[in-house]
Amino acid sequence: MEKVKIGIIICNRYHTCAGGKCFRALQNREGAFEMYKDKDVELVGYTTCGGCPGGNIEYAPAEMKKNGATHIHLATGLLVGYPPCPRLNHFAKFIPEKYGLKVIFGTHPIPQKYFTTHTNLNTWNSSFYKEAIKDTLTNEATRLQYD
């Protein structure tokens, strides 16, 4: 079975997050981790962006790459926070350019409470956000499990 090594970068607003939803989703291959359903995955790094404007984005992927990471997941919290991270597009360009790592938007499925709020606010109506959230949308039953 193919092995993939990944790193996860979370929003600094959630710096005390223990990673429970991300790790559960990785274990269950849900949300953005569904792409690994037929692969062995090793988590080789987990950190925050460092706070706005994301200073840790410049350095954290280097450490993850040294540990074998080929993919960096920008955690679901960056997509669903209030407001979503305004620098996601920049991060998604910078990390592959500087480190040659693939960037994936999201980790665990979007919790239903965030889905409802952002849908009502029309937060994700741009083509960028529609693409960014697609792997974490799943279905309502799964989203409710992540509330």
- In sequence order, which residues have a C-beta less than 8 Å from that of residue 52 and are 6 or more positions away? 12, 87
Strand 3-10 and strand 40-48: pairing? parallel
User: What does the alpha-carbon distance between residue 24 and residue 129 come to, in Å, rounded to a whole number?
Assistant: 24
Q: What is the model's pLDDT at position 2?
A: 85
Over residues 18-29, the mean pLDDT reads 97
Q: What is the model's pLDDT at position 1?
A: 76
User: What does the alpha-carbon distance between residue 29 and residue 13 come to, in Å, rounded to a whole number?
Assistant: 25
Strand 71-74 and strand 102-105: pairing? parallel
Report whether pLDDT(126) > 90: yes
Of the candidates 130, 140, 125, 141, the one whose C-alpha atom is nearest the C-alpha of residue 105 is: 130
Over residues 39-51, the mean pLDDT reads 97
In tens, the pLDDT along 50-81 reads 999 999 999 999 999 999 999 999 999 999 99
Query: Whole-prediction pTM value?
Result: 0.95
Over residues 31-59, the mean pLDDT reads 97
Considering the four listed CATH numbers 3.40.50, 1.10.10, 1.20.58, 3.30.70, the one that applies to the domain covering 3-145 is 3.40.50
What are the extents of the domains in the chain? 3-145
The pLDDT-based confidence of 121 (bands split at 50, 70, 90) is: very high
